[in-house]
Structure 1
Amino acid sequence: MLKNYFKIAIAVLKRRKFFTFISLFGISFTLTILMVTAAFIDKLVNDNYPDRKRERSLYISGLEQRGKESMNGSSLSYYFLTHFIGSIKTPVKMAFSTSSDGTNTYINDKKIAISYKYVNNEYWEILEYDFLEGKAFTKQQIDNAERVTVISDDLKKAYFGVDAGPVVGKYIEADNVKYRISGVVKSVPSTAHKFFSDIYLPYTVSKSSYKNKDYGGPFSVILLAASKEDVPKMKKEFDQMAKKIPMSDKQYDHLNIHADSYLESYVRTGNEQRSGMAYAIIALVSFGLLVTILPTLNLVNINITRIMERSSEIGVRKAFGASSKTLVYQFIIENMILTFIGGIIGVVLSVISLKLINDAQLIANLNLGLNFTVLFCALIMCVFFGLLSGVYPAWRMSRLNVVTALKAQ
C-alpha cells in the first residue's frame, strides 16, 4: 500500500512542477534556517571544551540583594567567595575567574585588541584546556603575584606571527605591563563567554584591589564535586549556606544566589528569583513558530489547490467505495513524502550553509556541524511540518461530495 502511495505522490509532484518547486523551496529553506539555528544552539549548549567536568560542576555567576525600595546585583567579591562559598565542605575544588575584559597591545606599531581575565590556580585543575605549549601558572606563582600568563593560540599567531616557534618564556605586553608566557592553549570561541579569553592572568596581579569586604566584585565561581552523585549534596549544602548569609546593608532584606547546572547558569536572567530556562524555551518555541508558520500556511494553500485539481479523481474513488479515512490517510502520506524530500534538500543546503559560515569565520573558533541531535531535530520538524500542512487539506478532501467532485470533471 505504501509503495502505491509513493508512486502516486511522485506522479502528482511531476504533474504540476511549479507548485512542487514552490513547496520544496519553502520546506527546504525553512528547515535549513532551523537546522543552522539548531547547530548553533547545540554548539553553545553541548560543546564541552574546556569544561569537560560539567556533570560534576555547579556554576555561581553572581548574587542579588533586594529591599523594599532598592536592589543590587553583581558578580562576587574575593571576600564573599572565600568567606562564604569556601566554607562548604562537599566541593573538592573551587575555580574562580573574572569575566573577559578588553585592552589593547602593540607589536611593530600594530594595534591588537585583546581580552583578558584573572583566574586562580584551581581554574586550570577544573577546566581542561588543551595546552599546545608549556603549562599553567602555579599556586605559588599566584601567591607571589608573579607576572605570568597563559595565552590563546590565536593571540600567539597575532602577536608573534603565524610561523612563530615556541613562545614559552617570552614576554607579551598588555595594558603597559609585560607578562612572561608560561603556556599556550587552544583558543576558545567567544560564545563560550565563561571560558573565553586571549590572556589568562593570576588574580593577584590585578590592578584593582580584591581584598575589600564587599559582597560584590568581579568573580564567578565553579564548584567541583568528587563525583556526579555528590552534585545534589553539594547543591543542598550550598543552598543551606546561602540562607545564613547576612545582608551587607540594612536597606536589603533578601539575598538571592544560586549554584546552577551549566545550562541553567547560561540562561539565567537578571531576575535572580527564578531561572531563565522558561524564558529561553519560550523564545526558542516562538522563533520556531515564527519561522514555520508562513511556509506552513503557504503549503496548506498549495495543498488545497492540488486537492481541488484532483476532485474528479477523489469523486471516482469515492464512487467506487473508497472511504474518507482511506483518502485522508493517502493524502497525509503523500504530503509526508513531499516534506521528507524537502527535508533531504534542507539537509544538503544546511551542510553547504554551515561550511560557508565556518569558512567565513564569522565567530572565531566556532565550527558548526550536523550531529545526531541536530538531525533528530530536523526529523521532528519534518514530521511536524508534514502533519501540520497536510491534516487540514486532507480533512477538506474527505468532505468533498461525490456528485460535486464528479461534476468538476
Structure 2
Amino acid sequence: MLKNYFKIAIAVLKRRKFFTFISLFGISFSLTIIMVLTAFSDHLVDSSYPDAHRSRNLYISMMRLTGEKHGFSQNGPPSFYFLDHYVKKMKTPEKVAITSFHQPTNTYINNKKLTIDQKFTDDTFWEVLDFEFLEGKPYTRQQIDNAERVAVISENVRRKYFGDEPSVTGRYIETDNIRYRVSGVVKSVPITQFATYGDMYLPHTLGKRDPQDKGLNGDYFAILQGKDASSLPAMAAEYDDIIRRLPIDTSRYDKISSRADKYVASYTRLFIGNQDDSGLNRLLLYVGLVLLFFLLLPTLNLVNINTSRIMERSSEIAVRKAFGASSGTLALQFIVENLILTVIGGLIGVVLSFIVLAIWNNSGALEDVYLYLNYKVLIISLLVCLVFGLMSGVYPAWRMSRLHVVTALKTY
C-alpha cells in the first residue's frame, strides 16, 4: 500500500511542478534556517574548547551599584580587587579564575595593521581552562607578581606576526609599542567564547588599571569551578551571601547587585537581562517565537496549496468513493502523500544545511568558528519534518474525506 501511495505522490508532484517547487522550497529553506541556527546555538551553548568543564562552572560578569537616594547608578564588570579580595576567598569552589574581557591593541607587520586582542589573567586561569599548548607553557604566579612582560599568544597571532616559523617561544612580540616575550602558544579560541577568547594573554599585573584600585567596578570577571554540577547551587548561594555582606559606601549608593550564573545565563544577563532577571526565559521565548515563525510560514503555505490540489483531484476522490473507498482510507492516503512530500523537502534541507555550513566554515567570516550538524540537530530536523507533514496534511485530508461523490463529480 505504501508503495502505491509513493507512486501516486510522485505522480501528483509531477502534475503541477510550480506548486511542487514552492512546497519543497518552503520546507527545505525553513529546515535549513532552523538547522543552521541550531548548529550555531549548539556552538555557543555546549561545552567546548577550552571551556570543557562548563557544566560545573559559574561565571561572575556584572555588578550593579545603585543609589536611589542620590540618583546614582553604575553597571559594569567587577574589579580585580573585588574578585581577588572577596571571591577568591570563597570556600565552595575548588578553583577561582580571574580574567579580563578582551581589549584590542594595534601593531604593524610589513606595513599592514594587525589588531591583537589582549586578555589579562591570573595563574589559576590556566588551571580552570583546558588550553592546548602547541609550544611553551603559561606564565607562572611568580612572573605575574614580578609583572614580567611575558605573553601567551594564539596560533593565529603566531602565524600572522611571525609567519611560518616553527617555534616562537622566547621571541618578542610588540603591540601598542610594548614588547612582550612569548612564553607559549595555544590553539586559537573563537571570538564567540567571550570567557576564554583572546589573541594575547598577559599577567593581570600588566593591565592599565591599577589592580589594587579598591573600586568595585572594573573590567574583569571570574570563573568559579566546583567539584561537579551538584556544587553549583552552593557556590551561587555563597556568592549571594558575599554580596549581601559587602560593605556599602552609603555616601554614594545603597544597593549592590551581582550574580554568579551558568554560562548561558551570564550571556543573557549581559545583553537582555538585569541583576534581578537573568533574561534566560526571555531568550527562550524569543527563540521559540522565531522557530514557530519558520514552522508556521511554510505550513500555512502547504495547507493552502494542498487544499487547492484537492479540487483538482475531486474526480479521483469521487471515483474511488463510488467504488467503496472509505473517507478514512482517502484521508490516510493524502496524509501519507504529504508526509512523503515533507520528507523529500527535509532531505533537501539537510543537504542544503551541509552546503551552507561548509560554505560558512570555509569562508572565515568568524575566525575559528566552525559549525557542524550533529545527531541532536538531525533529530530536531526529522521532528520538524514530521510536524510539517502532519500540520499541513491533516486539514486538507479532512476536507478531502468530506467531499460527497455527487458534488465532486459535478465539480469535475
TM-score, length basis structure 2: 0.94
Shift of 1:57: 0.9
2:268 counterpart residue number: 267
Q: Using a 3 Å threshold, how does the CA distance of structure 1 residues 397 and 67 change in structure 2: closer, same or farther?
A: farther
Helix, strand or coil for the counterpart of 1:82?
helix
Q: Which stretch of the first structure deviates more once superposed, 68-77 or 125-134?
A: 68-77
1:218 counterpart residue number: 219
Distance in 2 between the 1:327 and 1:87 partners?
72
Shift of 1:64: 1.5
Helix, strand or coil for the counterpart of 2:147?
coil
2:320 counterpart residue number: 317
Shift of 1:304: 1.1
Contact map agreement 2:137 2:183 (CA 8 A) in 1: yes
Q: Give the letter aligned to residue 85 of structure 1.
A: V
Helix, strand or coil for the counterpart of 1:217?
coil
Structure 1 gap segments, 5+ residues each: none
Q: Using a 3 Å threshold, how does the CA distance of structure 1 residues 229 and 289 change in structure 2: closer, same or farther?
A: closer
Give CA deviations for 1:322-376 in whole Å, capped at 9, x if unaligned: 4433333322221111101111011111111111111111111111111112112
Contact map agreement 2:47 2:53 (CA 8 A) in 1: no
Distance in 1 between the 2:327 and 2:194 partners?
56
Q: Using a 3 Å threshold, how does the CA distance of structure 1 residues 322 and 194 change in structure 2: closer, same or farther?
A: same
Distance in 2 between the 1:278 and 1:228 partners?
21
Helix, strand or coil for the counterpart of 1:200?
strand
2:190 counterpart residue number: 189
Q: Which stretch of the first structure deviates more once superposed, 370-379 or 11-20?
A: 11-20
Contact map agreement 2:322 2:405 (CA 8 A) in 1: yes
**Structure 2 matches for 1:63-74, cutoff 5 A?**
63-68=63-68, 69-74=71-76
Distance in 2 between the 1:55 and 1:267 partners?
17
**Structure 2 matches for 1:328-407, cutoff 5 A?**
328-407=331-410
Give CA deviations for 1:17-49 in whole Å, capped at 9, x if unaligned: 332222112211221122112111111112511
Distance in 2 between the 1:306 and 1:257 partners?
59
Give CA deviations for 1:242-269 in whole Å, capped at 9, x if unaligned: 3222334445333221111112212223
- Is the aligned partner of 1:307 residue 2:310? yes
TM-score, length basis structure 1: 0.94
Shift of 1:320: 4.0
Structure 2 gap segments, 5+ residues each: none
Q: Using a 3 Å threshold, how does the CA distance of structure 1 residues 249 and 210 change in structure 2: closer, same or farther?
A: farther
2:54 counterpart residue number: 54
Helix, strand or coil for the counterpart of 1:226?
coil
Q: Using a 3 Å threshold, how does the CA distance of structure 1 residues 254 and 316 change in structure 2: closer, same or farther?
A: farther
Distance in 2 between the 1:281 and 1:398 partners?
39
**Structure 2 matches for 1:117-196, cutoff 5 A?**
117-161=119-163, 163-196=164-197
Helix, strand or coil for the counterpart of 2:77?
strand
1:11 counterpart residue number: 11
Q: Which stretch of the first structure deviates more once superposed, 244-253 or 6-15?
A: 244-253
**The one of 269, 277, 284 aligned to 1:281:** 284
1:84 counterpart residue number: 86
Shift of 1:321: 4.1
Contact map agreement 2:47 2:55 (CA 8 A) in 1: no
Distance in 1 between the 2:194 and 2:90 partners?
27
Shift of 1:100: 0.7
Q: Using a 3 Å threshold, how does the CA distance of structure 1 residues 390 and 17 change in structure 2: closer, same or farther?
A: same
Distance in 2 between the 1:353 and 1:365 partners?
16
Contact map agreement 1:215 1:248 (CA 8 A) in 2: no
User: Structure 1 stretches (4+) deviating beyond 4 angstroms?
Assistant: none
Q: Using a 3 Å threshold, how does the CA distance of structure 1 residues 270 and 276 change in structure 2: closer, same or farther?
A: closer
**Structure 2 matches for 1:221-240, cutoff 5 A?**
221-240=222-241
Q: Using a 3 Å threshold, how does the CA distance of structure 1 residues 398 and 242 change in structure 2: closer, same or farther?
A: farther
1:26 counterpart residue number: 26
Give CA deviations for 1:260-282 in whole Å, capped at 9, x if unaligned: 11122122234221112122112
Q: Give the letter aligned to residue 174 of structure 1.
A: T
Give CA deviations for 1:51-94 in whole Å, capped at 9, x if unaligned: 01112211111111334344321101122112322232011211
Distance in 1 between the 2:341 and 2:347 partners?
10
1:295 counterpart residue number: 298
Q: Using a 3 Å threshold, how does the CA distance of structure 1 residues 108 and 390 change in structure 2: closer, same or farther?
A: same
Shift of 1:226: 2.3
What percentage of residue pairs aligned between the two structures are identical? 53
Give CA deviations for 1:221-257 in whole Å, capped at 9, x if unaligned: 0011123332332222222333222334445333221
